[in-house]
Amino acid sequence: MQKTVNPWLIAPLVALAAFMEVLDISIANVSLQHIAGSLGAGPEETTWILTSYLVTNAIALPIAGWLSDYFGRTRFFIGSIIGFTLASLACGMAPGLEMLIIFRAVQGLAGGALQPVSQAILADSFPLEKRGMAFAMYGIAVVAAPAIGPTLGGWITDEFSWRWIFLINVPVGIVLIMLVKRFLPDEPANHDGSKVDYFGFALIAIGLGCLQWMLDTGQREDWFESPQIVALAVIVVVALLTYIVRSFDQKNPIVDLTLYRYPNFAMANVIMFMMGFVLFGSTALLPLLMQTLMGYSAFDAGLVLSPGGFAIMFMMPIVGRLVGAVDSRILLMLGLSVSSLALWNLGDLTLSVSRDQLALARVWQTLGLAFLFIPTTSSAYVGLPTSANNQAAAMLSFMRNLGGGVGIALLMTFLDRVATVNRGHLVANTSPVSEVWSQHYMQLQQITGDATRALMMANQQVAEQARFIAFMDSFKMLAILFALLIPLVWKLKPLPRSGVGAPQGAH
């Protein structure tokens, strides 16, 4: 860097930028009905408020490293914050749904770079063996924000207006721009002047944009029964395979796939993908379970998830101090084991579970996740040249988000398919010759006073039980996936050891 800056002035700034962006992925989820009513739109149309953001965000993430090198990282970082802030202002003032969707797409495109660039700045500001506490700040941002987002979004919408879930970014963005200009050293462009690979850029944008679109709408469209999903899948395969084949002949590729020849980086990407799969997947499952089967409001469901977010915030600094003093593979094994057991415990719940028990189960799960993010991120840079930090950070962020997108899509499909199978099994046990069923049916007749209404109530109970069992199977599947990762952890090379303590400066 061009001037010496205390890295502990830099760390909270970049962490706040990442937090602001990740928060906007989930903060709008609980406000869609309010937005639909305000703008006169239907439920299906308003889902594009989420989809447009996710699609452009998916495009921006992997190319952020190349853009940082091309324009100069600090200038690109400030430009991204300015773009995100202006897009947030436009979203909050949008006169109609069409304009809101367009502004959300711009917001996702501008904000997509904030995560990886923040991580790359931290990687360059702290020596390898002392990055634990710095990545702890960043980890709080990108892991806790999805848990806090629905609760915060629900509160802002109920107390003020849905427009403020976007407008709240404006003062934060302005302050960030001023502080980043003040404390972050300017960095020159870092490229060899070779011609920009516009065709490669287009292939990535089309391939990843269509992939995110497919993941987000696949379940609603019944996956490959839909011609739209089939067309999207073909475009994804052709575009990404074409990019992969030709990227190795490019002097300055948009996404440098040769980084995967470094074992630690490759394995860290696998773990990060699975962490996104489980974190975002379980964060989507729990509120859905509470709202559809337990009668919780969106805000109450968010309150149950929030203690898990605070548990991560509490544990991250502790784990940050342990990284570099304890073998990172031990920390990863501990995190995977705790999270796996916690997810299995979630799979043993009943519909009578209390709010406190649900919150405690979520806290248990997130305590394990706190031991995963920092060691994985730190281990990814072992063996990598410093010049690759921008690209590496972009790919790690992309893999976490891709894992989340794939996880949510597959889990929603798994949930519906397994619920259908479970319902068939349960219906098979509702035979009139079954003494248990006959007694239960008679009780329902006494409650309703009508045979037809009793049968309808029984049908509803069967459907609810079938879906609840599917939720439990989903949690146990996630537990098994995490347990299977434990042997792979030992393929990583450990970080250089240092004494327990906070980083002392930049290298």
Q: What is the CB neighbour count within 10 angstroms for residue 456?
A: 13
Q: How many angstroms separate the CA atoms of 320 and 375, rounded? A: 8
The whole model's pTM is what? 0.80
Largest CA distance in the chain: 83
Alpha-carbon torsion (369, 371, 372, 377), positive or negative: positive
**pLDDT score at 171:** 93
Joined together, the tokens standing for residue 92 give 């909050």
**pLDDT score at 333:** 93
Closest C-alpha to 29, from 150, 140, 189: 150
DSSP secondary structure, 300-319, as one string: HHHHHHHHHHHHHHHHHHHH
Q: How many angstroms separate the CA atoms of 453 and 214, rounded? A: 40
Specify the 3-state DSSP secondary structure of 365: helix
Identify whether the C-beta of residue 107 lies closer than 8 Å to the C-beta of residue 84: yes
The alpha-helical segments, DSSP class H, found in 294-388 are 298-322, 328-346, 355-380
The alpha-helical segments, DSSP class H, found in 160-224 are 164-167, 169-183, 198-217
Closest C-alpha to 282, from 164, 357, 204, 363: 363
In the chain (507 residues long), the average pLDDT of successive 10-residue segments reads 64 84 76 77 72 82 84 88 94 89 90 85 75 76 72 79 89 91 76 74 88 82 87 93 86 84 90 86 82 78 79 84 84 92 89 86 86 86 82 86 84 86 72 61 66 67 82 92 89 66 35
Q: How many residues does the chain have?
A: 507
**pLDDT score at 286:** 83
Q: Which amino acid is at 244?
A: I
Residue with tokens 């998830």: 305
**pLDDT score at 499:** 42
